[in-house]
Chain A
Amino acid sequence: AQADDEVIKWKVQSHWPGSSSSYKDSLERIKKVLAERTDGRLQLQLFEAGALFKAQETFNAVSRGIIQMGTISPGYAQDKLPLAGVASGLPFAFHHVWEAVYFHKNMGFEDKLRAEAAKHGVYYSTDKIYPTEMVLKKPVNSWDDFTGLKIRSSGALQKFLTDAGAAGTYLPGGELYQALSSGVVDGAHWGASQGAASMGLYEVAKYHVKPALNIAGTDVFIVSQKALDALPEGMAKIVKDSLEEQFWIRTNQYQHDEQIALAKAEREQGVKVNVLPDDVQKKLFQAAQKTWDKEAERSDAAAAAVKDLKKFLTDLGYL
């Protein structure tokens, strides 16, 4: 451990651009909290998305101890964390954020993720749980409307949307606005309301679709275990406790901010909420279960997690 009065500087690579609300509300918050609680001895040096490492490389960089801390989506570390696929959100599983929170924290799912990350010398702590929701240029009023959609998507959700009958297509974030504006695609998901607003998507797509495609712990802090171990007596606990507290504060705050962002889009940009008709929801739920089963095939750990999830949803009366 280092001397007690020495200032320790940690490089923190974010996967959020500087303008993202989470950069300020999550990253700068934890920086401030840690500085306060360590009497200024632990200083986080923040880097915007891509400044040092791109999102897909950040887990490796933290794992190697090249940087001390980072933020990622679990999807970026799927080769290291077999459970990441489940963590990034199985489609149409949870109906409410609290359910996903309960599954993570009370039913031990996050502990399992933490154990997987620990094998790579990384301490894993979820920043928040939040929904991913679509925006569309035209509303979905029938199953035919849905299957006619071309949707900009990525990863597991792209596969799901395609399997369910729409056409999921990947485009880089930088081309999303243009593609949506000109009609290359009819819809997209970029987080939920705040994400869509930050990308300007409401300018060109006026329908915000409910319910969420998924609800998941999609933003995560990762800390190098080596860096934690090198901290003076007691400071590692401060870091871990602050991250744990951050999860509860941010998850709740984010839901509040989502609703505010959506209300603002409705008021100022003429956005309408498009609730999917019951038969569309039912068909998507059936398609979703096939996606869960495929995710379960990925590893024993994933199979166990999906089994836990199904039991939980059965108990809740959804399955």
Chain B
Amino acid sequence: MRVLSSFINGVTRLNDFLGRWFSYLILVIFALLILEVGLRYIMGAPTVWTNELSQLLFGVYAVMSGGYVMAHRGHVNVDLLYSHLSVRAQAWLDVFTSVLMFIFLFALLYFGISMAMESIQSLETSYSAWNPPIWPVKAALPIATALLTLQCLAKLLGDLAVALNLAKPEDVRLELEGDNEH
């Protein structure tokens, strides 16, 4: 049990930590767009790079959120049936439905890696006027999927422990700051 809860806590803290840093990208995206508007409207000199850079950063921002949102149990679901079940029944149900979840994550991981490797090998660029490298953004997809998969694995192991009556739900879930607000 100790090993299990330290795995769960470790993964959750990792995603929480990374998420906090990635969340500041919104400030960068905001600054870039305002800069572009200013340069274009006031100076009459739009740049070739601000909009594209903010779009690339947004891609990283969006995809990297997966693990963080999972760590905070923020991926929404329908709780119609759920709320009528006992804690153990909920855990069993989650173990069962997680099969579908892992199938999705596996497909994403497999071809995300394949896409990223192809991109890294050719050091792919966007071929726009600015032509920045886009392989780091493509690489973000499998990295983010891996982080999300780890968090889902932590949840699965926790659910199994609860389902088999080896642990209580609160033992296999790390409560994080900000979990009960939005």
By a beta-carbon cutoff of 8 Å, the part of chain A in contact with chain B is 60, 75, 78-80, 85, 148, 150, 153-156, 158-159, 162, 167-171, 184
Are the C-beta atoms of A162 and B48 separated by less than 8 Å?
A: yes
Are the C-beta atoms of B48 and A159 separated by less than 8 Å?
A: yes
**16 A–B contacts, CB within 8 A, in A order:** A60-B115, A79-B124, A150-B46, A153-B129, A155-B127, A158-B48, A158-B129, A167-B46, A168-B46, A168-B48, A169-B40, A169-B51, A170-B48, A170-B128, A170-B129, A184-B40
Are the C-beta atoms of B122 and A79 separated by less than 8 Å?
A: yes
Number of interface residues of B (CB under 8 A): 15
Q: Closest 3 interchain pairs by CB?
A: A158-B129, A169-B46, A159-B129
- Cα separation A159 to B118 with both chains bound (whole Å): 27
Are the C-beta atoms of B124 and A155 separated by less than 8 Å?
A: no
Are the C-beta atoms of A170 and B122 separated by less than 8 Å?
A: no
Residues of B within 8 A of A155 (CB): 127-129
Are the C-beta atoms of A171 and B48 separated by less than 8 Å?
A: no
- Cα separation A140 to B44 with both chains bound (whole Å): 17
B94 at the interface (CB under 8 A from A): no
- Cα separation A297 to B61 with both chains bound (whole Å): 34
B1 at the interface (CB under 8 A from A): no
B45 at the interface (CB under 8 A from A): yes
Interface positions of B from 115 to 149, Cβ below 8 Å from A: 115, 118, 122, 124-125, 127-129
- Cα separation A22 to B115 with both chains bound (whole Å): 30
- Cα separation A243 to B106 with both chains bound (whole Å): 39
Q: What is the chain B residue whose CB lies nearest that of A84?
A: B127
- Cα separation A169 to B118 with both chains bound (whole Å): 29
Q: How far, in Å, is A297 (CB) from chain B's closest CB?
A: 13
Q: What is the chain A residue whose CB lies nearest that of B115?
A: A60
- Cα separation A153 to B127 with both chains bound (whole Å): 13
Q: What is the chain A residue whose CB lies nearest that of B46?
A: A169
- Cα separation A60 to B127 with both chains bound (whole Å): 16
- Cα separation A60 to B114 with both chains bound (whole Å): 11
Per-residue A-contact encoding for B38-54, CB less than 8 Å = 1, 0 else:
00100011101001100
Are the C-beta atoms of A75 and B129 separated by less than 8 Å?
A: no
Task: Point out the residue from B40, B52, B122 that lies within 8 Å of A150, measured CB to CB.
Answer: B40
Q: How far, in Å, is B51 (CB) from chain A's closest CB?
A: 6
- Cα separation A244 to B128 with both chains bound (whole Å): 30
Residues of B within 8 A of A148 (CB): 44
- Cα separation A178 to B23 with both chains bound (whole Å): 30
Are the C-beta atoms of B129 and A167 separated by less than 8 Å?
A: no
Are the C-beta atoms of B129 and A168 separated by less than 8 Å?
A: yes
Task: Point out the residue from B45, B51, B124, B129 that lies within 8 Å of A171, measured CB to CB.
Answer: B51
Q: How far, in Å, is B39 (CB) from chain A's closest CB?
A: 9
Q: What is the chain B residue whose CB lies nearest that of A169?
A: B46
Q: How far, in Å, is A75 (CB) from chain B's closest CB?
A: 6
Residues of B within 8 A of A169 (CB): 40, 46, 48, 51
Residues of B within 8 A of A79 (CB): 122, 124-125, 127
- Cα separation A184 to B127 with both chains bound (whole Å): 24
Are the C-beta atoms of A170 and B52 separated by less than 8 Å?
A: yes
Are the C-beta atoms of B44 and A167 separated by less than 8 Å?
A: yes
Residues of A within 8 A of B44 (CB): 148, 150, 167
- Cα separation A60 to B116 with both chains bound (whole Å): 12
Per-residue A-contact encoding for B80-109, CB less than 8 Å = 1, 0 else:
000000000000000000000000000000
- Cα separation A170 to B46 with both chains bound (whole Å): 9
Q: How far, in Å, is B125 (CB) from chain A's closest CB?
A: 7
Q: What is the chain B residue whose CB lies nearest that of A149?
A: B44
Task: Point out the residue from A78, A170, A171 that lies within 8 Å of B127, measured CB to CB.
Answer: A78
Are the C-beta atoms of A75 and B127 separated by less than 8 Å?
A: yes
Are the C-beta atoms of A154 and B40 separated by less than 8 Å?
A: no
- Cα separation A85 to B129 with both chains bound (whole Å): 12
Q: How far, in Å, is B114 (CB) from chain A's closest CB?
A: 9
